[in-house]
Amino acid sequence: MKCDKCGGKAVFHMRHHKLALCQADYLAWLPQQVERAIEKYKMFSHQDRLLVAVSGGKDSLSLWDILHKLGYAVDGLYISLGIDGGVNYSAESRRLSEQFAGSRGLHLHVVDVAAEYGAGIPQIAERAQRGRGKACSVCGLAKRHIMNRVARQGGYQVLATGHNLDDEAAVLFGNTLTWAGSYLLRQGPVLEARDEGLVRKVKPLCRIYEREMAAYAWLGGIEYIYDECPFAVGATSLYYKDLLNQLESERPGAKLNFYLSFLRAKAAGLFSPDADPDRPLLHTCPACGQPTTAPGECTFCRMTSKLQPGET
């Protein structure tokens, strides 16, 4: 198969785009697609200071690589969650994140949850949930809290995450199955900082397939952690991804059309923010100073208040 741009040997074929590209043209094409999404959804400009949350995985490291190559002022944030698993998950993902930043002369903030709060996510979740359920909800709460705090304290205007199209389509599918109105209202490429104390959050990879991100990392020589988080096993989102992959295999472009049709419906007013009368009001947590809907201290501070540094 020939490259549709230069006529050389193609190494990657995208059925949904009816496009085959060689290595060089693909590594140039994908950043252009990301730049188009940034401009289309008015995510940020070259005057903004960006913070990208990195996990050591292909999507977040590739996003950092792309934003840096596009000339944006972007630093990274790695949150060490204290998750072991069979491959010492947190240690390996941290090593790869630090290796990536060091090889490119980029600045990486590192927040060690166990060092700062006295225990890693699995231990915090065990205590908070008293042995019931998974650590995922506690992990999500902690990451949102820490990402917003570091972005605010560092003077960053924008926080970028590496959520790709497959991630967004799976979340949309789940929210649509239950018509979770408040979640549908908030889902999109940009989550504005509507309340004081919050930082604008963006998803520059929202139109890029997971397969395309894997190809970019591989062709670009980006070393990343291949293993999923040990707590992700059996997650509903993975089941939704499998269902959408079956649909995509029969109808190339189905996931992209599903997501973009949703965004067009929102733009047309189908999901108006004014239609959410139950949107909770925020106030400032007296302990950490971050916005919260919880009465008194925020949920994160209440969850970690009894932990001491070094406690396991």
pLDDT at site 310: 47
pLDDT at site 311: 45
In CATH terms, the fold of domain 42-226+237-273 is Rossmann fold (3.40.50)
Q: What angle do CA 166, 231, 229 make, to 5 degrees?
A: 60
Tokens standing for residue 270: 């189908």
Contact 169, 258 (CB under 8 A): yes
DSSP summary character for residue 278: T
Say how far apart CA 59 and CA 202 lie, in whole Å.
14
pLDDT at site 127: 81
pTM for the full predicted model: 0.88
pLDDT at site 241: 96
Q: In what order do the strands lie in the sheet with 200-202?
A: 108-112, 73-80, 49-54, 158-160, 200-202, 190-191
- Compute CA 75 distance to the chain's CA centroid, rounded to the nearest angstrom: 15
pLDDT at site 165: 98
Cα atoms found within 13 Å of the Cα of residue 209, Cβ hemisphere only: 19
Local mean pLDDT, 10-residue blocks, the chain (312 residues): 96 96 98 98 97 97 98 97 77 95 97 90 79 74 94 96 98 94 91 88 98 98 89 85 97 97 90 60 87 88 73 41
Contact 77, 44 (CB under 8 A): no
Contact 56, 222 (CB under 8 A): no
Provide the residue ranges of all domains of the chain, joining segments of one domain with +: 42-226+237-273
